[in-house]
């Protein structure tokens, strides 16, 4: 008759694990008394190492007259029976029998043997005339089963080929896993972590944490953490560890740890009563960071949350909620000039408080109403550039004139800090501009338009008046010539104007119509003098060169 295992591992809920042990169980097959068959079962149960070395007798059921029928047990045990309690022959049909082993050996029953592979033996003799042999104890059957001492609890069935027992199995309590948690009494909102430790030699292949008897979804690691607890998290927690199925069972064996009780206490709510905001007013330049911060009171108010509002007026009415701004501080935007009002609302412990209103002003740049104007001036002359600007509410203004002759701007070294600049020396092609800054130089800058300076140089006389001081015959005409050039930049107009006077003591006067490079005096007089005035004219600016004086 086949033997069937009835396996069940009870979840261990006590903090202290059961003692590691093996219990061999078997039930005689005989359903009813029949002649002299069923009262005469004699049995010995013992364990050996995988190498066949005797370890310990787990139990015997035999009378003295029948003991010698258990020949293998007698041989292995050395002829003694002191390592297990003796019982009478099994003389009751279908009564289950058990034989425990607390992991000790014959020589040291209180010291557990080492983990490893063992074999459990059952040797049976009876007087069943329906099978081989006659007389008491003449029908001997031996049954053995492998057993691995690895700490994994399990119930393993064994088939008795001789059919002497309808149920044969061993039940191994193993070494139950344990869980620990140093924070079992917490306040709602706090975190806590459970840690499972396997005490078996075999490594677990899976974990499942439970609260009460309900599996926690996703809690399948060796630790289970509650990051932010709520009162409803309180309860009893344990962990079911699954081990690899190396025993031929229908399902992988599992062991349940001890249980720990988590207590979660609702926090005592401390409501917020007021909230301070700093700073309450600030003026900055565009792009300068402004950090506004809230300080709720009392400092230990429960779980404060923050909301920020902005308005264009100094009031909370109609203010706009700043979406996503939920931190204790706010970085107010300052990209654009203007004034905006901010305040915060704190909710904590069932209370709500609104801060004062903070004014954040972003300075505008000064407004330049009159730009410096480009100028053309004759070399040796003077010129001034001016700027007019305003910045209501952000005065005084400072002025910083700059010049550039090659694209690089630099501050004017002297006289460049007022509304008007009179540059010196004058360099043709120089550009001038003014940087106007409000808030006494600490505010925002506005840069004027560029005023270009054109310097007009006088003509360069290449060939002075000729002839010089000619001697003439009375009544003969006299001709004079001069040659000159002007710079190409700025482009100007070269002009000639001839002058004469009667003697060196007179005053030169223009000779009407004589505007060429040469002039003829038709009837000169003795001592009469001639010269040429050369001009370079650009945009109304006139630079003059005067030739030498020729006396006739």
Instruction: Answer positive or negative: Cα dihedral of 540, 545, 547, 549.
Output: positive
Instruction: Give CA–CA dist 375/534, Å, rounded.
Output: 22
Q: Is 510:549 a contact under the CB 8 Å cutoff? A: no
Where do we find the tokens 């002009």?
495
Q: Is 158:166 a contact under the CB 8 Å cutoff? A: no
Which pair of tokens denotes residue 397?
Answer: 């203004």
Instruction: Give CA–CA dist 413/68, Å, rounded.
Output: 127
Instruction: Give CA–CA dist 429/149, Å, rounded.
Output: 102
Instruction: Give CA–CA dist 172/101, Å, rounded.
Output: 9
pLDDT digit string (tens) for the chain, length 552 residues: 222 222 222 222 233 347 899 999 887 665 444 444 444 577 889 999 999 999 999 888 776 666 777 889 888 887 776 777 667 666 554 456 778 889 888 888 889 999 999 999 988 876 655 544 444 445 677 889 999 999 999 999 988 887 777 778 999 999 999 999 999 999 999 999 999 999 999 999 999 999 999 999 999 999 999 999 999 999 999 999 999 999 999 999 999 999 999 999 998 899 999 999 999 999 999 999 999 999 999 999 998 999 999 999 999 999 999 999 999 999 999 999 999 999 999 999 999 999 999 999 999 999 999 999 999 999 999 999 999 999 999 999 999 999 999 889 999 998 899 999 999 999 999 999 999 999 999 999 999 999 999 999 999 999 999 999 999 998 899 999 999 999 999 999 999 999 999 999 999 999 999 999 999 999 999 999 999 999 999 999 999 999 999 999
Taking only Cα atoms into account, the Rg of the chain, rounded to an integer number of angstroms, comes to 59
Nearest residue to 371 (alpha-carbon basis) of 419, 422, 411: 419
Instruction: Give CA–CA dist 237/239, Å, rounded.
Output: 7
Q: Is 316:365 a contact under the CB 8 Å cutoff? A: no
pTM value > 0.75: no
Distant-in-sequence, close-in-space partners of 352: CB < 8 Å, separation ≥ 6:
272, 345, 346
Instruction: Give CA–CA dist 16/175, Å, rounded.
Output: 11
**Beta-carbon neighbour count of residue 524 at 10 Å?**
18
Q: Which helix (H) or strand (E) holds 277?
A: strand 274-278
pLDDT digits (tens, 9 = 90+) for 74-120: 888 877 767 776 676 665 544 567 788 898 888 888 899 999 999 99
Instruction: Answer positive or negative: Cα dihedral of 506, 512, 518, 519.
Output: negative
User: How many residues are present in the chain?
Assistant: 552
Q: Which helix (H) or strand (E) holds 283?
A: strand 281-284
Instruction: Give CA–CA dist 166/111, Å, rounded.
Output: 33
Nearest residue to 301 (alpha-carbon basis) of 267, 338, 260: 267
Give start and end residues of each alpha helix (H) in 381-509.
none
């Amino acid at each position: 008759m086949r033997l069937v295992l009835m396996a069940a591992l009870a979840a261990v809920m006590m903090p202290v694990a059961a003692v590691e042990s093996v219990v061999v169980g078997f039930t005689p097959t005989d359903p009813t008394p029949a002649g002299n068959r069923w009262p005469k079962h004699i049995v010995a149960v013992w364990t050996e190492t995988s190498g066949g070395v005797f370890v310990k007798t787990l139990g015997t059921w035999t009378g003295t007259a029948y003991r010698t029928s258990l020949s293998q047990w007698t041989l292995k045990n050395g002829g003694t029976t002191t390592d297990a309690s003796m019982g009478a022959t099994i003389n009751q049909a279908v009564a289950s029998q058990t034989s425990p082993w607390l992991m000790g050996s014959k020589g040291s029953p209180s010291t557990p043997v080492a983990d490893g592979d063992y074999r459990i033996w059952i040797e049976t003799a009876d007087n069943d005339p329906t099978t081989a042999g006659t007389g008491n104890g003449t029908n001997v059957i031996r049954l053995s089963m492998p057993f691995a001492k690895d700490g994994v609890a399990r119930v393993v069935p064994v088939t008795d080929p001789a059919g002497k027992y309808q149920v044969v199995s061993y039940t191994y309590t193993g070494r139950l896993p344990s869980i620990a948690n140093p924070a079992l009494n917490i306040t709602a909102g706090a975190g806590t972590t459970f840690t499972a430790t396997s005490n078996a030699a075999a490594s677990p292949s899976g974990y499942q944490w439970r609260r009460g008897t309900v599996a926690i979804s996703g809690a399948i690691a060796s630790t289970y953490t509650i990051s932010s607890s709520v009162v409803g998290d309180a309860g009893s927690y344990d962990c079911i560890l699954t081990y690899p199925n190396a025993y031929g069972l229908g399902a992988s064996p599992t062991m349940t740890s001890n249980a720990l009780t988590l207590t979660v206490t609702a926090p005592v709510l401390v409501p917020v009563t007021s909230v301070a905001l700093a700073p309450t007013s600030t003026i900055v330049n565009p792009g300068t960071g402004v950090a506004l911060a809230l300080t709720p009171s009392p400092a230990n108010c429960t779980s404060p949350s923050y909301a920020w509002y902005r308005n264009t007026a100094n009031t909370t009415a109609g203010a706009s909620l700043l979406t996503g701004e939920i931190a204790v501080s706010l970085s107010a935007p300052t990209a654009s000039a203007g004034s905006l009002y901010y305040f915060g609302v704190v909710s904590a412990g069932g209370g709500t408080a609104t801060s004062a209103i903070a004014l954040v002003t972003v300075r505008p740049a000064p407004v330049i109403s009159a730009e410096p104007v480009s100028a053309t001036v004759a070399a040796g002359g003077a010129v001034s550039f001016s700027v007019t600007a305003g910045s209501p509410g952000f005065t005084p203004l400072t002025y910083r004139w700059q010049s550039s002759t090659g694209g690089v701007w630099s501050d004017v070294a002297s006289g460049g800090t007022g509304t008007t600049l009179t540059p010196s020396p004058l360099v043709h092609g120089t550009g001038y501009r003014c940087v106007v800054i409000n808030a006494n130089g600490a505010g925002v800058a506005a840069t004027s338009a560029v005023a270009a300076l054109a310097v007009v140089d006088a003509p360069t006389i290449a060939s002075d008046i000729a002839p010089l001081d000619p001697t003439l015959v009375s009544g003969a005409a006299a001709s004079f010539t001069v040659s000159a050039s002007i710079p190409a930049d700025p482009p100007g107009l070269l002009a000639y104007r001839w002058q004469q006077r009667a003697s060196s003591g007179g005053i030169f006067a223009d000779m009407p119509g004589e505007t060429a490079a040469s002039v003829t005096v038709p009837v000169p007089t003795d001592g009469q003098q001639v010269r040429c005035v050369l001009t370079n004219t650009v945009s109304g600016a006139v630079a003059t060169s005067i030739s030498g004086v020729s006396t006739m």
